[in-house]
Amino acid sequence: MKKVAISWSGGKDSALALHLALASGLKPQVLLCMVDERGYSRSNGVSMQILQRQALALNLPLVLKESSWTNYESNLVEGVIEIKHTYGVAQCVFGDIDIVAHRQFEESVCQQSGLSAWLPLWGKSRLDVRNEIIQLGIKSKLSVVSKRYALDEFLGTEYSELDFARLEQLDVDICGENGEFHTLVYDAPLFNKALNIEADQIYDLEHVLLSDFKIKE
């Protein structure tokens, strides 16, 4: 059984990629998450506290690698090499759907690290990905929305309850694949326990709005 690492954002697509990796007979060993200087996952804006709770719920170790966007590639390569040696993985699993530049980047990173890349969502339609996430019971809330779109009202919304017709009217990808929005997963079939989360402070950052969720004890 091939040992793999999961590129983990804390969001719905990486959760689906993990689910499909396990269903395909692979053996996930570790979650690798790139974080900013505050310890929040890059793009998805998931706090270190919640990332750690997600890993506990999945019963998988979590490796956090801090990086700016400027040196993201070199730090990601370094992180992948570290987990390759520590966890004996031969492959890294990513949750991208069909943006060619993303796939090329991930394949390049893995090649530099001596691993192969696998993208189990690759080539699926957006509708199929959305439906699979919802039907499997991968539950998430919108943690980040791009300020390029009129999405303020959707921040913190349950992904499965989004007005997808409205998103399409706004020319917003229903999976957020182009960075229109990002999500935070709080429950999934592989979680041994759902996370009890609540929205806290909202941050108005340069290009996005970020809802900082907290664990509700």
**pLDDT tens, residue by residue, 18-77:** 999 999 999 999 999 999 999 999 989 999 999 999 999 999 999 999 999 899 999 999
Quick one: pLDDT band at residue 148, thresholds 50, 70, 90?
Answer: very high
**pLDDT tens, residue by residue, 81-92:** 999 999 999 999
Count of other CB atoms within 10 angstroms of residue 122: 16
Query: What residues have CB less than 8 Å from 9, skipping those under 6 apart?
Result: 33, 41, 42, 43, 44, 46, 95, 182
Residue-range domains of the chain with CATH: 3-118 (3.40.50.620), 126-215 (3.90.1490)
Could you tell me the pTM of the whole model? 0.96
